[in-house]
Structure 1
Amino acid sequence: MLRFFSKLWMMQLVLYRPFFLFLVTLLGVMLLVFVLRIHSVSNTVFRASDEGFESNYTISEFIERPKLPKQTKLSVSLDKRNRLPPRNSDLFPKLSKDHITIVLYVHNRPQYLQVVVRSLSSVEGIGETLVIVSHDGYFEPMNKIIKDIRFCQVKQIFAPYSPHLFPDSFPGVSPGDCQDKDDPAKKNCKGNPDQYGHHRSPKIVSLKHHWWWMMNTVWDGLEETRQHSGHILFIEEDHFIFPNAYRNIQLLTRLKPQKCPNCYAANLAPSDVTSKGEGWERLIAEKIGNIGYAFNRTIWRKIHTKAKDFCFFDDYNWDITMWATVYPSFGHPVYTLRGPWGSAAHFGKCGLHQGHGDKGACIDNGAVNIKVEENDKVANIKSEWEVHVYEHQAGYQAGFKGWGGWGDERDRQLCLDFAYMYHYKDTPPLG
């Protein structure tokens, strides 16, 4: 009897052997796929230059539909203009392959804007790309300067929730808002003070709101760029751009994966705005500066996951917020790659909300005193150069508590709304 059952068991083993082999093979393949997926995610997290981190990105922690303010007639009309196609496509019908889009974000300093536009018109290769101009509010003198551009494709977008567009309601000045250091209990007013006891100023909070809205819109909202996998270069209205800037940023972004794979960005100028560069025959890796910086979608996704850190830090400056809380939260040094000579320069003499109008102009005799040398007219970066790394640089670091101006819960919520306004299926892209 025992011999009978032994033979029977052997016959069943032979009969089902192919099935067992198939099952073991399938489990092995599944385990291999799982390991490879973990390895690929690890590379995505730690290799800042990786271009492949698009995947199916979602913000799982945000589950509510964004509650954006009710728009005014002007903001609605500007929102519609955001969907218009770029101009000058008849003059420049095709963008170059792997072009680097340029985003110029502006406020209300026409004399400054004239300088940067004039400098852009002399940039080698500018006709190969698209320039997107992001406006903080609507100001006709600023609008006219951009409408006169003829040297490249250009698209204007207007922040539809800019405080400048809401004269009687949030995010502008609302009736009953607390002012300065008002005590809400005594004044019966609304608002949350910042860490220094000051209540919100719409003109000040617009700086951070505009930058964050612009970033979310350019990367995730615009038809022209929401599928863009390469780098995007960001400049401001008080940045003078040298003729070699576009060619140099092309070189830097091309060299970054090999020369500095852990660099998050490429910069056209040193982080020290008073420096023109070292003049060495070496590339420089240092902290990310706020003049002429370019990064790809991989880095944007990483920044985007830190929306709460960005939106709740009590400082109205976007760049200080990034330096003091967002970058440090990544857990390792954040570097950018640049050349030894600046290809852009900051020329502003006074604050962001000054410099408009003839009497209040902050430019000497209506011009800037920036000399363009022969070295600034041609690409001056070489692929064989080694990289010099600046460590432990001075400036805003983790632990800085912020300059304030960003304590009102309404501003923080609007900032969060911007972070996920394009992450709903029924949200149409801005074309």
Structure 2
Amino acid sequence: MRGGGWARAVRVAGVVVLLCVAWLQLALPPLPHDPQSALGGSARETPEFDTALRFQRNPTSKFLQSKTQPSSSSTIPKLTPEQILEIREQIQLRSGNETVLNEELFGPVQPDTIVIAVQVHNRLEYLRHLIVSLAQARDIDSVLLVFSHDYFDEDINQLITTIDFCKVMQIFYPHSLQTHPDSFPGESPGDCPRDTKPKEAAETKCMGTPDLYKHYREARFTQTKHHWWWKANKIFDDVWILKNHTGLVLFLEEDHYVAEDFLHMLRLLNAAIPRACSKCSLITLGNYLKNYNFHTDARKVEVTQWVSSKHNMGFAFNHSVWQQIKACSDKFCDHDDYNWDWSLLHVSNTCLTQKLHTLVLRAPRVFHIGECGVHHKKKDCSSRAVLTKVHRALQAGQRTLFPRQLVVVHTPPKKVKKHKGNGGWGDKRDHGLCRSFSVSTSPDRDILKISVLTGSLVSNSSVNSSTVIRSGS
């Protein structure tokens, strides 16, 4: 009896130990490098998964945690002069420091390091999702991630400082509407209202030059083009750690989302250019197709002339291409169009010795998830519906990601209609400020020096063939 009791006690103790081990396994989070946890769940998960559930077990879920409501372009608070002065001082200080976060973990920037330039305004919710997608991308630890801001916000800054998966840097556009609410490039008290008639403008002696549609400048529409051109000049020519950089710079925006193989595709496309398209100077990872099939198109890349309305999302080029574009800065800055992409197209069509051509993916690796912005206002700006669609597409095409070869499709050139411009950029002050960025991007540049460049600040006046390119060939 004693022996039987002892045996039962041993079995009970064994069961208790096993239960404890099982409990610990359930309680512990998944390993950070577990490929299943990197996807936020099982590979067999159905397409109808919930976005929040997808990230709740993922280390990147910290980027989605918010204590504040996301900012909206229509709810920018009015700042006091003291607050504006403080923001300007912070911008001056941070621009001078050129601090690179996580450099001690991932090493210094190399000449061929891929630089990802993200243009940021104030849409915090979208930015969180972009950062989550970047965190899940393979080889992201090899890049330099540069956030370029035209709105100073501590919640956004705090979010960026939590990034721990690559080298990170922040730059701040010094001539923002936030820091110049009552003076150019913001709205000055003496500016002509948008629909001012020529006779009225002459009588009131208001400031400004009408655009080709006879409208005077609206400050809120001019900032994006200024910021983009300043950012490009800053990154290519004015950041000290990039002085010897010859690699690609990939341009993203805060409301973009990337696939986990976007860097793999970027490198694959870059290696393919000499054989696939020697005249191509750009690579485009995104497109605006409403429907795409990864199973049939994951490896396909199209050779085409760069068109602003089709190829402005997730495109990349290097310093030598930038030098050609910068040499045409007057064409960019004087073109009467408040859109930077249409202005770049104008440079391509009127100034470059050879028009810009690009390799563009049929199945995108960069997606647009923004529902609200400068041009679009909706009651519900949530990115949930668009994100669900993107997640479903990527999950359905999971096995087709990271292809080892490309199929290059050559399409016949299409005649591009001459575009006269969308207007909104007729004011000589905008031309002068824009041109000044190609001379210097220093934040201490006095904005009144624009008068030297502009003169008076007051003015009234079907598939043809296919080629297979193998990885590493």
Give the structure-2-normalised TM-score.
0.67
Q: CA deviation at 1:378?
A: 7.3
Secondary structure of the residue aligned to 1:155 is strand
- Say how many residue pairs are matched: 348
Structure 1's 404 and 366: CA in aligned 2 closer, same or farther, altered over 3 A?
Answer: same
Q: 1:411 aligns with which of 430, 452, 457?
A: 430
Is 1:276 equivalent to 2:292 in the alignment? yes
| Inter-partner Cα distance in structure 2 for 1:258 and 1:366 | 36
RMSD: 2.8
* Deviation by residue 1:42-68 (Cα, 9 ceiling, x = unmatched): xxxxxxxxxxxxxxxxxxxxxxxxxxx
2:238 corresponding residue in structure 1:
221
Structure 1's 326 and 162: CA in aligned 2 closer, same or farther, altered over 3 A?
Answer: farther
Structure 1's 73 and 416: CA in aligned 2 closer, same or farther, altered over 3 A?
Answer: farther
Q: 2:389 aligns with which of 361, 369, 393?
A: 369
Residue identity in the other structure for 2:374: L
Q: Which runs of 5+ in 1 are unaligned?
A: 1-70, 427-431
| Inter-partner Cα distance in structure 2 for 1:141 and 1:354 | 24
Secondary structure of the residue aligned to 2:351 is helix
Please give the residue correspondences for 1:162-173 in structure 2 after superposition, counting only pairs within 5 Å.
162-173=176-187
Q: CA deviation at 1:195?
A: 1.2
Is 1:326 equivalent to 2:348 in the alignment? yes
Q: 2:303 aligns with which of 285, 289, 299?
A: 285
Moved over 4 A (4+): 94-97, 353-356, 365-368, 374-379
Secondary structure of the residue aligned to 1:369 is helix
Is 1:181 equivalent to 2:201 in the alignment? no
* Deviation by residue 1:386-406 (Cα, 9 ceiling, x = unmatched): 522234348xx4621111110
1:122 corresponding residue in structure 2:
136
* Deviation by residue 1:191-245 (Cα, 9 ceiling, x = unmatched): 1111112211221100100000000000000012232111111111111100000
| Inter-partner Cα distance in structure 1 for 2:365 and 2:292 | 9
2:149 corresponding residue in structure 1:
135
Q: CA deviation at 1:80?
A: 2.4
More helix by share: 2
Secondary structure of the residue aligned to 2:104 is coil
Is 1:400 equivalent to 2:419 in the alignment? yes
Structure 1's 111 and 377: CA in aligned 2 closer, same or farther, altered over 3 A?
Answer: farther
Please give the residue correspondences for 1:62-81 in structure 2 after superposition, counting only pairs within 5 Å.
74-81=87-94
Residue identity in the other structure for 2:92: D
2:408 corresponding residue in structure 1:
387
Contact persistence 1:162–1:209 (CA under 8 A): no
1:113 corresponding residue in structure 2:
127
Please give the residue correspondences for 1:3-402 in structure 2 after superposition, counting only pairs within 5 Å.
74-82=87-95, 83-94=97-108, 98-183=112-197, 184-270=201-287, 272-274=288-290, 276=292, 279=297, 281-288=299-306, 289-352=311-374, 361-364=381-384, 368-371=388-391, 372-373=394-395, 375-376=397-398, 380-383=402-405, 385-393=406-414, 397=416, 399-402=418-421
Q: Which runs of 5+ in 2 are unaligned?
A: 1-83, 446-473
Q: CA deviation at 1:117?
A: 0.9
Contact persistence 1:111–1:355 (CA under 8 A): no
Give the structure-1-normalised TM-score.
0.73
Structure 1's 177 and 105: CA in aligned 2 closer, same or farther, altered over 3 A?
Answer: same
Residue identity in the other structure for 2:94: R
Q: CA deviation at 1:376?
A: 4.9
Q: CA deviation at 1:380?
A: 3.3
Structure 1's 273 and 76: CA in aligned 2 closer, same or farther, altered over 3 A?
Answer: farther
Residue identity in the other structure for 1:202: A
For CA contacts below 8 A with separation 6 or more, give which structure has more relative contact order: 1
Residue identity in the other structure for 1:415: C
